Amino acid sequence: MSQLISIVLPVFNEEAGIQATIDTLLNYVEQQEESYELVFVDDGSTDKSVKIIKGAIAQHNNIKLVEFSRNFGHQLAITAGLQYTKGDAVVVMDADLQDPPEVIPQMIEKWHEGYNIVYGKRMQRDGETVFKKFTAKMFYRTFKKLATIDMPLDVGDFRLMDRKAVHQLLQLHEQDPFVRGQVTWIGFKQTSVPYHRQERIAGETKYPLSKMIKLALDGVTSFSTKPLQFVNVFSVVPFVSGVFYLGYLIASGNATPASVGITILLFTLGLLMLSIGILGSYLGRVLDQVNDRLRYIVSKTEGFEERNKGIHDFSARQINN
């Protein structure tokens, strides 16, 4: 029996390009010997994305849709998508064709060689701003220094995972998951295939700066406590400066120059606020976890023959289905 490969595609307002993505993938799938299912996860789109996907479902029984009740974010859309897959291996990719399907056979080859996880390593990135490329590069390198996991550089969420890895990944119940970190964390045999990240086929990036910052913060706060130690280091700086300044005043016999005093005060205040900010980021994460709210809500599913057996996620709830 041929193997089943699931492709998970998170979608947020992709009406401009989603039809082209569907057509390209269907065309790709037809030429493969494995069977495929395409699992789209609509992350609260407000445009025609859902309508277009439903149109495709009416014609093809290997297309499926999971609809969120609102926008919960890319990382949770991936997590939810994984819940609904049945494949022997699962590939996660952008719904904008930035991750080319031609790379999938290379991933499958590595999987057949015995790797459980094969991620796409971006060798070149087209159509992205210099700012995005620069911040991404900085982030991955800083993250590597901070994190307790050895996450490979320049990998995103384009990857293949076998059933065993998917199963383990779904046991993690972080409220704000940083999926690529989690994937590294679970271990198993991992490798990469290089690829050329394409330009978006249509539409704008759905990752504005605010979402990029949130992703970066989730990544750091979930996989490193080093920034908390910075707080200790920072506190030494104003203390030492104060001691030296006092020494200077005594040695020089000068009267207190108010400007220098104010500078030190501002400096100290800045460090204090930064420290509180760092503490706050971690505390926020703890609070989210303690609240133990559902991570996402699925409002509807379409295209599944029956509710996938084995779906067992206490963080997801099905309504109106």
- List residues near ligand UDP by CB under 6 A: 10-12, 14, 43, 71, 73-74, 77, 94-96, 98, 205-207
Q: Which does 207 bind (CB under 5 to 8 A by kind): Mg ion, ligand UDP, none?
A: ligand UDP
Dihedral (C-alpha) 113, 93, 97, 205: value to the nearest 10 degrees? -150
**Residue 96 within binding range of Mg ion, rule CB under 5 A:** yes
Q: Considering beta carbons, is residue 136 or 272 the nearer one to ligand UDP? A: 136
From the list ligand UDP, Mg ion, none, pick the one residue 89 interacts with, judged by a Cβ distance below 5 to 8 Å according to partner type: none
Least distance from ligand UDP to the Cβ atom of residue 21, Å: 9
Q: How far is the CB of 98 from Mg ion (least distance, A)?
A: 4
Cβ nearer to Mg ion, comparing 28 with 234: 28
* Cα–Cα separations (whole angstroms), residue 92 to 81, 108, 278: 9, 13, 32
- Cβ burial, residue 235 (10 Å; 0-12/13-18/19+): middle
Nearest distance, CB of residue 94 and ligand UDP, angstroms: 4
Which option in ligand UDP, Mg ion, none does residue 73 bind, with CB closer than 5 to 8 A by kind?
ligand UDP
Nearer to ligand UDP by Cβ, of 73 and 87: the residue is 73
Q: Which is nearer to ligand UDP, 110 or 121 (CB)?
A: 121
- Minimum distance of ligand UDP from residue 14's CB (angstroms): 5
Q: Are 1 and 33 in contact (CB under 8 A)?
A: no
Based on the shown chain and the rule CB under 5 A, indicate whether residue 218 belongs to the binding site for Mg ion: no
* Residue 78 Cβ vs ligand UDP, minimum distance, rounded to whole Å: 8
Asked if residues 185 and 109 have their Cβ atoms less than 8 Å apart, the reply is no
Choose between 37 and 227: whose C-beta lies nearer to ligand UDP: 37
Residue (2 or 46) nearer to ligand UDP, CB: 46
Query: Closest separation between CB of residue 96 and Mg ion, Å?
Result: 4
- Candidates 94, 157, 174, 313; binder of Mg ion (CB under 5 A) is 94
| 21 near Mg ion (CB under 5 A) | no
Q: Which of 98, 192, 224, 275 binds Mg ion (CB under 5 A)?
A: 98
Look at residue 85 and give the partner it binds from Mg ion, ligand UDP, none, a contact being a CB closer than 5 to 8 Å depending on partner kind: none
Q: Which residues pair with 120 in a beta bridge?
A: 193
What Cα–Cα distance (Å) separates residue 308 from each residue in 82, 157, 311? 11, 24, 6
Min dist CB 83 to Mg ion, Å, is 22
Interface positions with Mg ion (CB under 5 A): 94, 96, 98
